[in-house]
Amino acid sequence: MSTVNGNGGVKREEEESLDSKYSFENRISNGSVAVQTIQVTNAGREADTKLDQHHSYEFGGPWGVATMMAFFPTLMYYLWICLEFYDGQIIAPKSLGDIVPFFGRMWGHIRDHATPTPYTFSLYTSLMVYQLTLAFIMPGYIQEGLPVPSLNYKTLKYNCNALGCWYTTLITIYVLHVTHIFRITEIIDHFGSLMTVAMFYGFAVSFVTYYWAVWTKDAVRMSGNFVYDVWMGAALNPRLGSVDLKMWAEVRIPWVLLFLIALSGGVKQYETYGYCTPNMAFMILATGLYINACAKGEECIPQTWDMFHEKWGFMVIFWNFAGVPFTYCYSIIYMATHEPEKYRFSTPGYIALYATLLTAYYIFDSSMSQKSRFRMQMQGNYKYRWTFPQLPWGTLKNPTYIQTAHVNRLLTSGWWAYARKPNYTADWVQSLTWGLVVGTASPIPYFYSIFFICVLIHRCGRDFERCAAKYGDDWKEYCRIVKWKFIPGVY
């Protein structure tokens, strides 16, 4: 495994890249759009250098992250037990004297239903190996990432082949299912055990990649505290050959697996009741839209904060391998294990639910592509890529923006004229519908939206703090023009 990092050894190449790509000039991108590619100013470089060093602890420091590393798996087991064995209701010890027996009962559920087996281990491992193999061999769309300050503003190339891999995975799953080599319902039937395997991988990959980055001197922005650095990660752009592991893990495991869990739930209902409920079909649609959005717009992912700023640590790895697929799916698990009468809606209820999802999805998809494509245009590497579906207003014509002293430009058109994080709002509304789909039958499926709002508010705070440090007065001006964070007039 090699990681791409700028800690020495490649200066000449970096300088060439910098000179050829970021000098002041007008470039023509694909013979169509005239763009100006620009050089980061000295002030911008100073700000970037400061931001690329560890200054203060986030997430409550070493104690805070250690607590979360222990808390995440515990919470996942607890919520799954409530969902599967206690009718989806929150449970607690009945009295002080019941505390020890309570933990005994909890442990019993884990031992009996969540112990990893060679079978579940091979299932999860097969998914990872298959997705990695596809990522290596499938042809893709080559996208240039943002200039990386720690690489002296070198840009990395990303082979965006998630869409081909996603379609191939769908065909493979269909063939495996109809030939009975692997019945898709096996996922729901072995959910607990698979979840434990996923957690194991979450921890194992975090530690292995941490040590690898330290050993190969590819670690950046390190605090020096072991637990905190494992949590935040060491490498920024870990790569295995042509595959960017962080980007691969962000899409190919969590969202693919989540969709497969939904499909598994739908087929399970069909085999049990002879039909798939509109609620389960909703989750198949919702998770399908999400993975499809990630795959069809993969070239936009290098423009997101996870890729250009967040390192590949436990926080990201555990959540990608275990947290997203095994907690965002609670409504699916509830519906796969409970009678449809418990969560049946009226026709207007279904119309409202589906309409809310589709509206939120539209805003999520188009706002993300508006900003990403704007940034690509500014960088001079935007090319139209047709993937399905392309929604109206995904690319802005003659967008307005603030020119910062750093050199980057802040978009103030499209959805970005109304709020500074329109994508977060739309994404959160989607997460809410994933709970609403079971109505009031169980509170557990609302975990995703409750957890996600906390993540988004915290993430937004961290991002704005970083942007304020990076853009100074220009950021203040931007906040004056685009007043609201999430919802115009409200927040």
Query: Residue numbers of the site for ligand NDP (CB under 6 A)?
Result: 304-306, 324, 368, 371, 375, 408, 410-411, 416, 421, 423-424, 427, 459, 463, 467, 470
> Which of 459-467's residues contact partners 24+ apart within 8 Å by CB, and which partners?
459/305, 459/424, 460/421, 460/424, 460/485, 460/486, 462/58, 463/305, 464/420, 466/51, 466/309
Quote the least distance from Cβ 368 to ligand NDP, whole Å. 6
Quote the least distance from Cβ 94 to ligand NDP, whole Å. 35
- Measured from the CB atom, the residue of 345 and 415 that comes closer to ligand NDP is 415
Quote the least distance from Cβ 189 to ligand NDP, whole Å. 26
Residue 446 in tokens: 């609302």
Which of 349, 324, 332 shows the shortest CA–CA distance to 434?
332
List strand residue ranges (DSSP E) for 325-367, in order. Answer: none
Q: Report, in angstroms and rounded to the nearest whole number, the Rg of the chain calculated over CA atoms.
A: 23
- Measured from the CB atom, the residue of 236 and 267 that comes closer to ligand NDP is 236
Quote the least distance from Cβ 286 to ligand NDP, whole Å. 12
Output the CA–CA distances (angstroms, integers) from residue 140 to 82, 158, 171, 442, 479, in the order listed. 42, 9, 18, 42, 38
- Measured from the CB atom, the residue of 169 and 408 that comes closer to ligand NDP is 408
Altogether, the residues listed in the chain come to a count of 491
CA distance 214 to 233: 10
35: which residues sit within 8 A by CB, 6+ positions away? 26, 27, 28, 29, 377, 378, 379, 380, 382
Quote the least distance from Cβ 164 to ligand NDP, whole Å. 22
- Measured from the CB atom, the residue of 105 and 470 that comes closer to ligand NDP is 470
- Measured from the CB atom, the residue of 243 and 411 that comes closer to ligand NDP is 411
- Measured from the CB atom, the residue of 14 and 306 that comes closer to ligand NDP is 306
Q: What is the largest CA-CA distance in the chain?
A: 75
Quote the least distance from Cβ 319 to ligand NDP, whole Å. 7
DSSP state of 86: S
What residue is closest to ligand NDP based on CB? Answer: 304
Quote the least distance from Cβ 273 to ligand NDP, whole Å. 30
410: which residues sit within 8 A by CB, 6+ positions away? 401, 402, 404, 471, 474, 475, 478
Output the CA–CA distances (angstroms, integers) from residue 147 to 69, 90, 191, 309, 376, in the order listed. 32, 47, 41, 11, 11
Alpha-carbon dihedral sign for residues 162, 164, 167, 173: negative
- Measured from the CB atom, the residue of 146 and 187 that comes closer to ligand NDP is 146
Quote the least distance from Cβ 12 to ligand NDP, whole Å. 26
